[in-house]
């Protein structure tokens, strides 16, 4: 199972518990998370299904390359970390 974790700053908008899901790509893993937490989707993906500009996703510490299709391969024992950038002063 793939472990999917989110930065804690998303918690102020929507619940983001760590999830363990099946998925061979980033898209499949995130879709599995969104199926049980649909409100989270709009904070991570835009209307076209691509990562929002202020969101970064890492698979085992490596930044994903395909921000539109999310087709990066995910090993079955991988950890996906979703980070939302903070701004302000």
Looking up residue 74, the CATH number of its domain turns out to be 3.10.20.30
Domain-embedded: residue 39: yes
Q: H-helix or E-strand containing 82?
A: strand 79-84
Domain range for 58 is 2-84
Adjacency order of strands within the sheet including 62-63: 19-21, 2-6, 79-84, 55-59, 62-63
Residue 68 domain-assigned? yes
- Does a structural domain hold residue 89? no
User: How many domains does one find in the chain?
Assistant: 1
Strand 55-59, strand 79-84: pairing? antiparallel
pLDDT digits (tens, 9 = 90+) for 25-61: 999 999 999 999 999 999 999 999 999 999 999 999 9
pTM as predicted: 0.92
């Amino acid at each position: 199972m793939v472990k999917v974790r989110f930065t804690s700053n998303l918690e102020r908008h929507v619940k983001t518990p760590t999830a363990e899901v099946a998925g061979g790509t980033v898209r499949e893993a995130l879709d599995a998370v969104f199926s049980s937490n649909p409100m989270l989707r709009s904070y991570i993906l835009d209307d076209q299904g691509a990562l929002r500009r202020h969101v970064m996703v890492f698979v085992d510490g490596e930044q994903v390359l395909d921000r539109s299709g999310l087709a990066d391969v995910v090993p079955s024992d991988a950890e996906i970390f979703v980070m939302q950038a903070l701004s302000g002063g």
